[in-house]
Amino acid sequence: MTSYIAEIKPLNEKFIGTGAHGTAKFTEGASALHIEIEMFDTPKNMQHWEHFHGFPNGKDAEPATMSQDVNHDGVVDLPETEAVSGTTMVPFDAQPHKMHIPNDSYPVSDDQGHFKYENDVPLNDLKAQFKTVFGTDDLELDKRVIYVHGVPSNTDLPTTTGGHLTDQYDAHVTLPIATGKIIKVEW
C-alpha cells in the first residue's frame, strides 16, 4: 500500500468570507484507491465539486495562491490556477473512475460548512479511464493538487471571474475555495 495526504488550505477566503480547510488522505492498494476528504468552514448547505488537478506530462503541480490573480479582480478563478496546477483530472464524486466532471454526486456541506467524503475507487477502472483521457495510467498522486470549489449562486462575483470556462460551467460552481498539495507519506 502507498499512502498520500494533502493539507487543504483556504483560497479566496477574503472574497468568500470563510476559510475553507481540511485534509485529504489517499491509500492506494492492490485493487482500490481509498479516498477520505474532510472539509470545514466551506460555504454552507451546498454541493462542492472537488478534484485532483495536474499536468498530463508529469510536471509537478503546485497549489495556486493569490499571486495567480493575474487579472487583479480579487479572486483566483479556475483558469488562473492552470499555470501552476494544470488541468482538472479526477473528480471526487460518487464514481471517480468514470471521470465525469459535471454531475450532481459531489459532497454537500451541512449548515456548519462541514462535509466528509469517503470512497473506495476500483483502481484498474480508474487507471484505464485515466489512460484514455491523459495517455498514461500512472496517477502520480504526489505530483497533483486537490481543489475544492463552489460558492453560493447569489455570490456577487467580478465579471472577470471564470474566463473561458463560463461557457461550460457556472463560475460559482468552479470558483476554488481551498487547495492543497498531495504528498506521499513515508512510514
Contact 106, 20 (CB under 8 A): no
Is this structure's pTM higher than 0.85?
A: yes
Q: Would you list the DSSP string of 136-181?
A: -----GGG-EEEEE---TTS---TTTTGGGGGTS-HHHH-EEEEEE
Q: Is 73 helix (H, G, I), strand (E, B) or coil?
A: coil
- What are 154-158's contacts with CB under 8 Å, separation 24+? 155/16, 157/75, 158/73, 158/74, 158/75
The whole-chain average pLDDT of the chain stands at: 93
What are 135's three cell numbers?
Answer: 495517455
When divided into structural domains, the chain yields a total of 1
pLDDT score, position 108: 97
Contact 182, 99 (CB under 8 A): no
Q: Which domain holds residue 82?
A: 2-185
* Residue 65 belongs to domain with CATH number: 2.60.40.200
pLDDT tens readout for residues 6-34: 999 999 998 888 999 999 999 999 999 99
Distance CA 175, CA 50 (A): 11
Termini Cα distance of the chain: 11
Q: What is the mean pLDDT of residues 82-107?
A: 96
